[in-house]
Amino acid sequence: MQITGMNWGAKLLKYVGFPTATVLGPEASKEEIQALIDRFGGVLIKPIFKGGIGKKGKAGLIGRATDVVTALKEKERLYFAEHRHGNQYAKSEGVTFESFVRAEHEIYFSLTDSTLFRAPTVTITHHGGMDIEELSPDQIAVVPFDALTGFKGFIVSNALMKMGAPGEIISPLVQHLPKLWDLFHHYGMTTLELNPIRMSSEGGRLTPIACDFKCAFDTDDPNWHRLDLPDDLDQSSLSKFETEVNQLRTYQGQSDVFVINERGTITAMTFGGGANALVTELLGDAATISSDFGGNPPYQKMLDISRITYQYWLKQSNVLFIIGGKANNTDIYETFRAMADALRAYFSTHGPTPLFVVIGRGGPNLVRGLGYMQDTLDALGLPYRVFGYDSAMSEVVNYAQAADEWMSKGGRAEVARKLGIHA
């Protein structure tokens, strides 16, 4: 779960009393926009993207206006704006109107967990207004700190002092930035980035004003649910299938899925994070999904996972591919029994579908599990090969790909004929 932009950022920052630009949502009336312009001299119009996509400014997706007519024109331009950055794509769902914050100083600030220090770490620079990657190392402070005592004002003060930051900005930042630890640590975040923070002098005293916001939440931390965020805030990137499987996320057993290609022809039920990485890489776009169902899921959970996966992907698949290494603890009998039962149930409710089944697995209760699957596949009349863990996993992937190729070049029709159905 990631959030970008001030639409929700301002609301979250309010929890800890961190000052923000004044933000109006897409429903703002002309009068409200005019009032904002009158008070602050202008507004920024920014598209609202779900998820964690960044670099809006560089893509020309931030509008500026000092009158209502321009503001509304920008609203029209950006309301459904599309944005691509790296692998991410997002389509705007409205705009925000954010007050101008006149300032001499811009600050970059982020809190995250550093894998170098293995500690929570603050990154701060007063050389704001540009990409953090473009600064030299002595212009940025990257300071790990003690998670037990938290993020303290002296860390800010030391860092800014060592970088030679202007004295007048240190005190207000020391006063306000530590508040963000509360939001970061106690609401289950893994990243919190404010860029820029503009040092407003309104009211005669410098005050840091958050002008953009980005955060990522830890899916495994229940604390962020306390924020009562709407369910669909980051759902744009989750397909229906992923949402349905995600609901099965529990302590015992993984249920991670990611749709790779909606028109893929190999559906891989993968066990283990390693197998997930390897198999998905080798299958490429032939895969419908990337999955990790390891972690010894109990029968019931595996049955539900299989039921959902089959329901979404089996019809279009040439190959049902069940693959994992030599399991340490996952009970092969229980997991295979569940997958086999779900397959049988699928055939009985949706009718048979032409499939080639390829399996590679090792682990406790292996032969019983493979045997159960064998009996099921025989009963369903599906062609298959089952490999033990002494066959290289990558070779088994190659075999699955060869099966897919054969199926797409006439094999599917042959299997269908055997099953007495159309391909």
Partner 1 sequence: MQRQLSISELNKGSNFVHAKGEVAFPYYMGIRSLADIATRDDRVCVLNITGGESSTVTPISHAYSGGNIVCGTMPGRSGTVLNTPIGAIPVYHNILEAMEAGHRFNVAVVYVPPSGVRDSVIEAVRVNPELKKVVILTEKVPVSHSRVIRQYCQQRGVDLFGANCLGIADAHHKVRIGGALGGTNPEESLVPGSIAIFSNSGNFTTTIATYLLTAGWGSTVSVSSGKDIYIHFAAPEFVYALHHDDRSKGAVMYIEPGGYYEKDLVIQKPVVACVVGRWKAKLTRACGHAGAIAGSGDNALSKEEWFMEKFGVKGIFTPETPICSARGAVVTNIAHIPQAMTAVMMMNGIKSDFEPRGNLALKPWFGNNHGLCLPPELDMPIVEAIAPYNEQIALLKRQVGISFPRQSMKDTSGASRMDSATQVSQIHGISILDAATRSFEENLVLSLIREYPDANGRGMVNVILNGYVNQSGSIGLAAADAAREAHSSPNVVLSAALALVGPKEVESAKKAVQIFVDLFAHAGLEDPAQVDFDCTAQLEQLTSNASMRDTLVVMEKPSKRSRALMAALEERGSQSVFLELLRLLAKKSSAAISEHAIVAAIACHLAWKPLMHKRLSVNTILNLPWHLRIFSTLVGVSVSAERQPDKKVFCGKDVSELMESWSFSETAFMALMDHRPDSNELFAFSVLLGLIITNGPGTISAQGAKGAVSADGPEVPGRVQVNKGYIGFLTHTGYAHGGNGFEAIQFLLECFRDGGLTDPGNKSHGLDLEALAVAKAKEYKSYKVRAKSAGELDYAKLPCINHPVFKGKDVNYDPREVFVGELFAQRGEYNVFQEFYHHLVKALFKVGVSTNVYCVNVDAVIAVILLKMLWKPFRSGQISEQSMEAAAFTTFLFGRMIGSAAEIDDHTNRGRNMDTRTAASLCGYAG
- Please give the residues from 280 up to 309 whose contact with partner 1 meets the rule CB under 8 A: 280-282, 284, 290-292, 294-296
- 8 vs 271, beta carbon nearer partner 1: 271
Q: Could you tell me which of 196, 199, 194, 195 has the C-alpha nearest to residue 184?
A: 194
Strands 119-125 and 141-144: antiparallel
Bridge partner residues of 88 (DSSP): 85
Which x/- pattern, by CB under 8 A, does the window 35-74 give for partner 1?
Answer: ----------------xx----------------------
Q: Least CB distance from residue 98 to partner 1, whole Å?
A: 25
Rounded to 10°, the helix 30-40/68-78 angle is 120
CA distance 346 to 340: 10
Among 91, 243, 277, 408, binds partner 1 (CB under 8 A): 277
Q: Quick one: which of 254, 265, 288, 335 contacts partner 1 (CB under 8 A)?
A: 254
- Only one of the segments 37-45, 73-81, 195-203, 370-378 lies at the binding site for partner 1 (rule: CB under 8 A); that segment is 370-378
Shortest distance, CB of residue 409 to partner 1, whole angstroms?
A: 9
369 near partner 1, judged by CB under 8 A: no
Q: Indicate which single residue of 9, 120, 172, 297 sits in contact with partner 1 (rule: CB under 8 A).
A: 120
Minimum CB–partner distance for residue 328 and partner 1 (Å): 4
Q: C-alpha angle 224/228/231, rounded to 5°? A: 95
Q: Retrieve residue 77's tokens.
A: 């331009």
421 lies in the site for partner 1, by CB under 8 A: no
The label of the residue with tokens 């197998």 reads 275
In angstroms, the CA 33 to CA 383 distance is 66
Stretch that binds partner 1, among 20-28, 59-67, 95-103, 273-281 (CB under 8 A): 273-281
Contact between 80 and 92 under an 8 Å Cβ cutoff? The reply is yes
Give 173-200 as a 3 state SS string.
HHHHCCHHHHHHHHCCEEEEEEEEEEEE
CA proximity to 96, closest of 17, 43, 163, 170: 43
With CB under 8 A as the contact rule, the residue among 70, 132, 218, 229 that binds partner 1 is: 218
The answer to the question of residue 389 lying near partner 1 (CB under 8 A) is yes
Task: Mark the segment that binds partner 1 (CB under 8 A) among 57-65, 71-79, 142-150, 206-214.
Answer: 142-150
**Which of 152, 359, 188 has its CA nearest to residue 266?**
359
Among 17, 86, 203, 204, binds partner 1 (CB under 8 A): 86
- Interface stretch with partner 1, choices 42-50, 63-71, 76-84, 218-226 (CB under 8 A): 218-226
Query: What CA–CA distance (Å, rounded) separates 355 from 351?
Result: 12
Binding to partner 1 (CB under 8 A): which residues in 98-117?
113, 115-117
In whole angstroms, the minimum distance from the beta carbon of 295 to partner 1 comes to 6
Please, what is the minimum distance in Å from the beta carbon of residue 226 to partner 1? 12
CB of 258 to partner 1, least distance (A): 4
Question: Please, is 86 exposed, middle or buried when counting C-beta atoms within 10 Å of its C-beta (0-12, 13-18, 19+)?
Answer: exposed
Determine how β-strand 23-24 pairs with β-strand 95-99: antiparallel
CB-based contacts of 331, cutoff 8 Å, min separation 6: 296, 363, 364, 365, 369
Rounded to whole angstroms, how far apart are CA atoms 114 and 339? Answer: 39
**Cα(367)–Cα(302) distance, rounded to whole angstroms?**
18
Using the minimum distance from each CB to partner 1, give the nearer residue, 79 or 258: 258
Q: Choose, by CB under 8 A, the member of 43, 170, 322, 386 that binds partner 1.
A: 386
Judged by beta carbon, residue 141 or residue 266, the one nearer partner 1 is: 141
Contact 123, 110 (CB under 8 A): yes
| Residue of 251, 263, 420, 422 that binds partner 1 (CB under 8 A) | 251
What string marks each residue from 153 to 172 as x (binds partner 1 by CB under 8 A) or -?
--x--xx--xx---------
Choose which of 28, 306, 393, 412 interacts with partner 1 (CB under 8 A). Answer: 393
Taking CB under 8 A as the criterion, which residues in 323-362 touch partner 1?
Answer: 324-329, 333, 341, 344-345, 348, 356, 362
DSSP label of 72:
H
